Structure formats: C-alpha cells, structure tokens
Amino acid sequence: MITIKPHHFLDVIKLYGKGVEKFVPDKSYHHNFYSVANDLVNNHGTIIQLTSGKDDICGPCIYINEEGICTDDIEHVAGVNSKDEWNKTLDHRIMRYTKVLEKSLLTAFEYCEILYFEKEHIFDVWKEESESSKQIRYDTFCIGAKKYLKLR
C-alpha cells in the first residue's frame, strides 16, 4: 500500500504524460518520488491511501520535520509562503471535487480513472496559477491518464 497526496498522484500521471516512463532519484530533496512513481506506473493495481499530510513520497524529504510538516517555502502563489499550506489547499480541493476523502483506499487505476473523469477541475484546483500553466498541467495529465488507463 502507498500513502499519497492527491496532488502527488496527479504529478506522477502528469509526468507520465510528458513521457517519463522511468523515474530517477532526486538528489536535492531526498524524497521518494521516483520509487512511488515507478510503482504506480508499473503496478496499476497498487492500493493507495489518500492523505493531505506526509505521504510516502515526501516522508524522507529534507524539508519534512519531526511532526511531518513540510518546512519548505514557496514564492509562486500570492499570499502563500508555506509549501505545506499550499499542498494541503491543493489536496483538499482535489478531494472535494472528486469526492474521494482522506484515508480512502482504492487502486491506483481506480483513482486515476476518478481523476480523469473530473479532469476539468484541474483549472479550479490550481486557480492561482497562470492560464498557460493550468493548460499545460491539464494537457499533460490527460495524456498521462489516457496512456495509464489505456484510453484512446
């Protein structure tokens, strides 16, 4: 089982849509994105549990403190400096739009399917981003989800 933030799952599928088929370790953050992403891409039946807190990707990151809070700062969202706050905002928006709540258990395939059918909400979830950034996120997620779900 993989514990994962909804936006991290979307990021995996988005990168898969950009053509990343094998994820490699990130030496700067020391997180576990590569291992989780490889598992999700290669094992569609993997059971996932959603969280808005520390997950299996960010758990070993250098910015996660002992309480499981991300201490990294961001500057790209007006009025938001805390990456932890921003991530929680994104995850709660995704959970609200998909009606898949925290601690829900489902397969990676099932969750990708739910996200794909609610894909238009990407524009609402990341509403603070530029239109071009949202469009790229939407397009690459759709490409990745279609590939993952084997849709035409």
Longest dimension (CA), the chain: 45
Residue 21 pLDDT exceeds 90: yes
Band (4; pLDDT cuts 50, 70, 90): very high
The model's pTM: 0.96
CA triplet 68, 119, 125: central angle to 5 degrees?
45
Could you tell me the two tokens for 116?
Answer: 């794909």
Q: Where are the domains of the chain?
A: 2-149
Contact 41/73 with Cβ under 8 angstroms?
A: no
Cα dist from 52 to 5, 68, 90, 148, whole Å: 5, 11, 9, 23
Average pLDDT value over all residues in the chain: 96
* pLDDT at position 45: 98
Residue 86 pLDDT exceeds 90: yes
- Residue 120 CB neighbour total at 10 angstroms: 9
- Please give the Cα distance from 33 to 29 (Å, whole number): 10
* pLDDT at position 30: 87
